[in-house]
Structures are given as structure tokens and as C-alpha cells.
Amino acid sequence: MRTRTTTRIGQYAALLAYLVFLAFPFLWLLSTAFKSPRELGSLHPTWIPRHPTLDNFRQAFDEQPLLHAALNSLLAAAGAAIVAVLVATPLAYVMARRRTGLTRAATGWVIVSQAFPLVLVIIPLFLVLKNLRLINSLAGLTLVYVVWALPFALWMLAGYVRAVPAEVEEAAAVDGAGRARTLISVVAPLLAPGIVATGLFAFVTAWNEFFFALVLLKTPEKQTLPVVLTHFIGAEGVADLGPLSAAAFLATLPSLVVFAIVQRRITGGMLTGAVKN
């Protein structure tokens, strides 16, 4: 009994240490965003600002078009998440249910594509988008995000499809439902946690993405939030730490809000409940 209690205490201690490790950068960013320039330049940094100020937030909005850049990021990230889910769901269903040579090859492509470095694919992507006249456009950037998120989305959703009992589809077939009707009316509702998790992955990945946005977007009014954040760093690499921290803190909020909204969908046992019912 004592050994079990000691093991449980050790597990909780390890979990707490891991949570502190994950939360420290965000908490330090939050603290820095509210510090005055004098406090930021102090040789003895403090955990909590002695004299909290909103000047860094005001300066950040005055120096850079953060709201417009955030809107660009939101349009690209939301569009990529929606399209990736819509495309990946039926493809993942086919990959999971029909084990043929083609589906095995597609699974291999999914795994191999994740190993490609960004620098290797940027030139072909740039040439393709140039021929499509989608350079320096949010539509072109969204298309790139969809292509980049699709392999992982397929792999992730295929695992959720395999978890759906085949008996559910067989019952639908007995009732006269075709493949398309079964996918839309029977399988898709059971995949809701996986679809939400996949959409969240695609959204967060696109929201935080920097390299593609830097290369493909030329004019300032089209730039996304991660690119605009680099404007707080001077030509010599010296960062305006206060406004940069304030802007970076605001840039992390949408991802946190989206995750807070959908976390129950991700962790809920919808599949188990549906099968029991």
C-alpha cells in the first residue's frame, strides 16, 4: 500500500513538473509584456512586474498593424482547417476501410511526406503558385497550408475510422444506406472528436506558421501575424522586447481560446457513448 502511494505521489510530482515546464515560457512572456522599459533593462529580473504597465501593448499596436495581420492569419488558418478536414475525412475513410495496394502506397506517402524539410519544397510550391497566379495572396497561402496539413490529417483520421466498429456500418447497409450515406450520417458523427482534433491541429499549425508566409507574401497588407512579429526586431537583431512580448502574448491567445472551446470534444468519449446507445 505504501509503495502504491509513493508511486502515485511520484507520478503527480512528475506531472506537476511537466506542467510547470510547459507553462513557464508563457508565464514569463506574460510577465515581460507588462514590465516597464526600466524593469526590462534591470540586471536583477523579477518574476512579477513591480509596476505593471500597458504601454507595451499600446506601443505594439501603434508600431505594427497587429489586428489586420491577425485577421489575415485567422482567414488562412480557418480556411486551411476547414478544407483539410473536408478533404481528409472521406479519403481517410477509404484508406482505413479498403486495404489495397493503392491505400498502402497512400499511407506510405503520408509517412514519407512528413520527413520533407520546408526548404526542399518551397521552390516547387513557389513555381506552382506562380503559374496559378496565387503568389502574394491569402488563397495561395491557404492552399499551401492545406497541402501541408493533409498528410497528418489523413493519418490521424484514419486511426479514428479504424476505431469505429464495422458492425455500425453493416447495420446501416442492412437498412439500405450506401457508402456515401453511411459516411455522412453514421460514421462522421462518430468521428466528431477526431475531426475536431484534426481541425485544431491544422488551425494551430497554420496560425503559427512563419516560413511559407514569409516567402509567399510580399506586400505588408497581406502578411500574417508571425511575419509581422519579426518587425519588432531591428536590422542588427536587437528586439524591442516589451512590445514584442505584448504582441507575442496576444498572438498566442487565439490558439488557447480555440483549444479551450473544443477540448471537451477532443477528450469526450463520444464514440463509446454512441456504440453503447
Chain centre distance of CA 197: 9
Q: How far apart, in whole angstroms, are the C-alpha atoms of residue 251 and residue 245? A: 10
Residue holding cell 499511407?
107
Chain centre distance of CA 11: 29
pLDDT attached to residue 273:
36
Amino acid code (one letter) for 179: R
Show the domains of the chain with their CATH numbers: 1-53 (no CATH), 55-276 (1.10.3720.10)
Which tens digits make up the pLDDT trace of 140-151? Answer: 999 999 988 888
Distances (CA, A) of 101 to 6, 105, 108, 217, 244: 51, 6, 11, 39, 51
> Among residues 16, 49, 9, which one has the least CA distance to residue 30?
49
Which tens digits make up the pLDDT trace of 183-232? Answer: 777 777 888 888 888 888 899 889 999 999 999 998 989 999 999 998 88
- Residues in a beta bridge with 239: 233
C-alpha cell at 146: 492545406
- In this prediction, residue 274 has a pLDDT band, given cuts at 50, 70 and 90, of very low
C-alpha cell at 108: 506510405
Residues 140 and 126: beta-carbon distance below 8 Å: no
pLDDT attached to residue 269:
40
pTM: 0.81
Residue holding cell 495561395?
140
Query: Is residue 26 predicted with pLDDT exceeding 50?
Result: yes
In three-state secondary structure terms, 190 is helix
Q: What percent of the chain has pLDDT over 90?
A: 21
